[in-house]
Amino acid sequence: MYFGDPARFPYGTKSADTIIRFAVEDAGFLLSRGVKLVVVACHSASSSALPELARRLPVPVLGVVEPGARAAVRRTKSNRIAVIGTTATIGSGAYEQAIRRLKRDVEIIAKPTPLFVPLAEEGWLDNEVTEAVARRYLAGLSDEGVDTLLLGCTHFPLLARVMGRVLGPTVGLVDSSEETAVSAADLLAGQGLLNPGGPVRHRFYLSDLAPNFQTVGERFLGEPMGEVVRASVGEAPERKQ
């Protein structure tokens, strides 16, 4: 079950207090539909709201910051990691804190790269404009000995090809999504909540039926999404797309 909040998007430019309020309301919507685990898949919400969500919610809560940090620490050999994300994610310092809890002697370069989000939303995944922005944001990282770039935003893996070309083969890209999925499975198994089998159904709810949501979502999934339902936070679903 997925709940997206395009009516109040983007979170990455909002204050921490606002992000926390929105995230708590979003989680409440999911709880009202009987979920057994909440994955905070937005890096800005994970960076700002995870402690408050963990305190309030009666189900396990998993963010993307810790899994991403683990993957980056495993990947680096030079002990120099760069982290890119929205202004809110980078401003929170959450990734630096998570990485240093795992490995104290790592050098971290954290850079806000907010223009990557609208480029991904627009579908400009690999053209001259995207490459120019990537060169502006990522210039010099490989020269500084960085060998690992942690993609601290859900949108950024869509731009991985152009980032990899700009950075060259010496810098590996780390996407926290796979590590987060493994962590979710381990958490559910450890608490006896893992579904042993049966058909899987996907349900997509949005606070606003953004025109490009299905297009962007199918780029991520690599398959048709099916039904998408508009739903206001705290209310029953209203209409289908």
Can you read off the two tokens belonging to residue 12?
Answer: 């990455």
- Alpha-carbon distance of 88 to 91, in angstroms, equals 5
> For residue 55, how many other CB atoms are within 10 A of its CB?
8
Can you read off the two tokens belonging to residue 2?
Answer: 């997925």
Please provide the DSSP assignment of 28-55 as one string: HHHHTTT-S-EEE--HHHHHHHHHHHHH
Contacts of 91 (CB under 8 A, 6+ apart): 112
Check if the beta carbon of residue 156 is closer than 8 Å to that of residue 12: no
Q: Is the peptide bond before 10 cis (omega within 30 degrees of 0)?
A: yes
Q: What is the DSSP letter of 6?
A: G
- Alpha-carbon distance of 15 to 88, in angstroms, equals 7
Check if the beta carbon of residue 229 is closer than 8 Å to that of residue 204: yes
Task: Verify whether residue 86 is a known catalytic residue.
Answer: no
> For residue 224, how many other CB atoms are within 10 A of its CB?
8
Task: Verify whether residue 153 is a known catalytic residue.
Answer: yes
Exactly one of 42, 88, 159, 206 is catalytic; which is it? Answer: 42
Exactly one of 119, 153, 173, 228 is catalytic; which is it? Answer: 153
Which residues form the catalytic set?
42, 153
